[in-house]
């Protein structure tokens, strides 16, 4: 928090609703913009009362080269003694005022004063823009989430602007569509075309362009991008807005989505709703729509069911966390999933890192990751070699030490074997080489590619269960949290182990678990009751592992540290929506600007010791 500054108003232009305050200290005179919105209660009435030389007190901020007097401006009582009322030597016309806003003529120390204050913790940024991306499968009525979100952001003083990605897609010769399926498909195809011709994140670049256009520098703005359909769009937005960007994953049951597409969107042609859902999940090529691969990148997961109160309260909690509420702590599910994610990062698997934990009575009893097993129990760990002092892996242990994924290699061997055994009699193919090439392509793309059992690694779920058995801990009635939906091979062992609840984040389309074991597994959502006769598989809801530390840790997260009590009195500190600020704000300055601010701090350090 910066101290309040007192000074006087130098120019007030009531007709055009702006003015400026000139603050003079020992060395410098600087001008700060003043708008009615920066006045107490944003009241134009207060603005009307202002005159030149009215003593005011305010806080300062720089945004995009604008120096603004912000926070509540208090009009000082004239009897107050400490008001600075220095006069300006030379009145400035409105023109030169504008110029001084765009390119301040003060020294570099002054240009960066708000950044230096930010770096040294004197101020926290409390009018940063907020960018929220939404990812949801087709047939999800996302307005049930985005509308209350817009409404709730108002409480924090934020104006929300929806950025519709579909508005970026220009359908040239559209106009009349036969039906809804055709209309949605046209958009999907046009989106694919755009990605194919430029790059997979092109719509995210379009979203940034729309955000820049919609930004109103006099307002605190939140931008809601609806909806992202490709993982590279998310990567792109994280590069642009870094920690100021949040991805909100909306989960809706397939049944509910089918119903919505049929009843509300008029997808009445037989099978059309299902076809759309399948295409939307993944079109199966790099530049296609890939909602399934995008969803699990979310920072926060909300369940869109029939209970609107639940949706609203989930969103409120999400926003309270973003806006630095110090009194929100994780649910056990969130904690357990975070621990599962933590476990996953020890994995040296060549294709994906998966983590799992087994929990019982809200206590984590075992962890697991996917990696190669080691004799004596457990998986290979990297270890410090005492002779050399290097951290190293056992030779021929983890897959990378062998330089190949045994699963992929075995699949390829199988394909080659089939090719070798088939009689070569295709006349249209000029040579046996062409024939082999074609057939190989077909076989590789076939379901042979879905086989997983030739991998050397133990899957994370299995390792977690096995670690229970190594230590003699019962897995009966336990819960299992895993970062990815279990494969069918693990699923049968999960069922056999007596685990009764499985929570997962990332879908795993190769898994046949639900198909093979529908007698023992049910896909449960918040809306239906726990089935005690089956193992309940549930999608994860809540704060995802990715931003867990940022949102829950008082000190380890990115952004401002959290305080819960007054150090002297021990009493809890007040936190309110109105006064809260974003914990990981968008800092107005690239690293070279921040670097310059740091250099200024160093150069202007006190020499007095």
| Contact set with Zn ion (CB under 5 A) | 459, 487, 490
The β-bridge partners of 247 are 133
- Give least dist CB 489 to Zn ion, A: 5
361-390 exposure pattern, b = at least 16 Cβ within 10 A, e = fewer: eeebbbbbbbbbbeeeeebbeeeeeeeeee
- Give least dist CB 144 to Zn ion, A: 34
- Which of 290, 293, 292 is closest to 191 using CA atoms? 290
- Give least dist CB 462 to Zn ion, A: 6
Beta carbon nearer to Zn ion, 319 or 490: 490
- Give least dist CB 337 to Zn ion, A: 17
Beta carbon nearer to Zn ion, 122 or 512: 512
Rg, C-alpha atoms of the chain:
30
Q: Under a CB-based contact definition with an 8 Å cutoff, are residues 560 and 124 in contact?
A: yes
- Give least dist CB 459 to Zn ion, A: 3
CA atoms of 552 and 337, how far apart (whole Å): 14
**Helices marked H in 103-225 — which ranges?**
108-111, 113-119, 143-155, 180-197, 202-214
**Which distant-in-sequence residues (6+ apart) come within 8 Å of 107 by Cβ?**
28
- Give least dist CB 254 to Zn ion, A: 23
- Give least dist CB 413 to Zn ion, A: 22
Beta carbon nearer to Zn ion, 479 or 484: 484
Q: Under a CB-based contact definition with an 8 Å cutoff, are residues 53 and 8 in contact?
A: yes
Beta carbon nearer to Zn ion, 195 or 459: 459
Beta carbon nearer to Zn ion, 4 or 492: 492
The β-bridge relationship of strands 391-392 and 300-303 is unpaired
CA atoms of 428 and 24, how far apart (whole Å): 87
Beta carbon nearer to Zn ion, 230 or 459: 459
Beta carbon nearer to Zn ion, 43 or 518: 518
State both tokens at 327: 């009194």
Burial class, 264, CB count within 10 angstroms (exposed 0-12 / middle 13-18 / buried 19+): exposed
Beta carbon nearer to Zn ion, 8 or 347: 347
Residue entry with tokens 């639900």: 514
- Give least dist CB 188 to Zn ion, A: 32
302-322 exposure pattern, b = at least 16 Cβ within 10 A, e = fewer: bbbbeeeebbbebbbbbbbbb
């Amino acid at each position: 928090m910066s101290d309040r500054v007192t000074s006087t108003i130098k120019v007030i232009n009531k007709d055009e609703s702006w003015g400026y305050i000139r603050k003079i200290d020992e060395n410098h005179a600087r001008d700060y913009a003043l708008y009615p919105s920066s006045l107490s209660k944003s009241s134009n009435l207060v603005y009307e009362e202002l005159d030149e030389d009215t003593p005011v007190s305010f806080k300062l901020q720089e945004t995009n080269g604008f120096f603004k007097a912000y926070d509540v401006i208090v009009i000082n009582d004239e009897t107050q003694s400490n008001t600075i009322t220095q006069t300006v030597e030379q009145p400035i016309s409105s023109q030169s005022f504008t110029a001084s806003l765009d390119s301040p003529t003060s020294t570099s120390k002054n240009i960066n004063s708000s950044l230096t204050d930010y770096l040294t913790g004197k101020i926290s940024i409390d009018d940063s823009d907020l960018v929220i991306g939404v990812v949801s499968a087709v047939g999800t009525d996302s307005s049930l989430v985005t509308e209350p979100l817009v409404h709730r952001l108002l409480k924090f003083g934020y104006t929300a602007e929806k950025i519709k990605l579909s508005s970026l897609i220009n359908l040239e010769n559209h106009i009349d569509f036969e039906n809804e399926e055709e209309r949605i498909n046209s958009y999907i195809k046009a989106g694919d075309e755009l990605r194919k011709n430029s790059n997979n994140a092109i719509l995210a670049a379009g979203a940034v362009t729309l955000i820049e256009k919609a930004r109103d520098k006099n307002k605190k703005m939140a931008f809601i991008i609806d909806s992202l359909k490709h993982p590279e769009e998310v990567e792109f937005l994280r590069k642009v807005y870094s920690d100021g960007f949040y991805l909100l994953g909306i989960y809706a049951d397939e049944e509910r989505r089918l119903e919505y597409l049929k009843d509300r969107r008029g997808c009445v042609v037989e099978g059309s709703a299902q076809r759309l859902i399948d295409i939307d999940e993944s079109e199966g090529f790099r530049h296609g729509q890939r909602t399934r691969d995008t969803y699990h990148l979310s920072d926060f997961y909300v369940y869109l069911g029939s209970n609107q109160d639940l949706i609203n309260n989930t969103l409120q909690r999400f926003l309270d966390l973003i806006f630095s509420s110090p009194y929100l702590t994780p649910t056990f599910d969130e904690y357990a999933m975070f621990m599962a994610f933590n476990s996953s990062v020890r994995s040296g698997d060549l294709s994906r890192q998966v983590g799992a934990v087994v929990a019982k009575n809200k206590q984590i009893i075992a962890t697991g990751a996917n990696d190669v097993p080691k004799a004596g129990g457990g998986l290979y760990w990297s270890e410090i070699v005492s002779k050399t002092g290097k951290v190293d892996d056992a030779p021929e242990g983890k897959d990378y030490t062998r330089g190949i994924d045994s699963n992929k290699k075995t699949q390829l061997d199988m394909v080659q074997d089939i090719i070798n055994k088939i009689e070569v009699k295709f006349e249209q193919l000029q040579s046996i080489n062409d024939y082999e090439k074609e057939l190989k392509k077909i076989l590789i793309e076939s379901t042979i590619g879905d086989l997983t059992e030739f991998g050397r690694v133990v899957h994370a779920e299995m390792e977690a269960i096995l670690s229970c058995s190594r230590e003699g801990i019962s897995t009966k009635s336990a819960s299992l949290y895993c970062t990815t939906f279990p494969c069918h091979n693990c699923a049968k062992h999960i069922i056999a182990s007596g685990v009764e609840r499985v929570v997962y984040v990332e879908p795993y389309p190769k898994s046949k678990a639900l198909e093979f074991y529908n007698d023992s597994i049910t896909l449960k959502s918040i809306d239906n009751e726990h089935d005690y006769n089956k193992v309940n598989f549930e999608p994860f809801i809540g704060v995802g592992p990715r931003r867990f530390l940022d949102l829950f840790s008082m000190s380890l997260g990115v952004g401002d540290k959290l305080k819960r009590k007054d150090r002297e009195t021990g009493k809890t500190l007040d936190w309110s929506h109105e006064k809260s600020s974003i914990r990981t704000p968008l800092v107005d300055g690239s690293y070279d600007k921040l670097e310059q601010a740091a250099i200024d701090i160093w150069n202007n350090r006190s020499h007095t010791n």
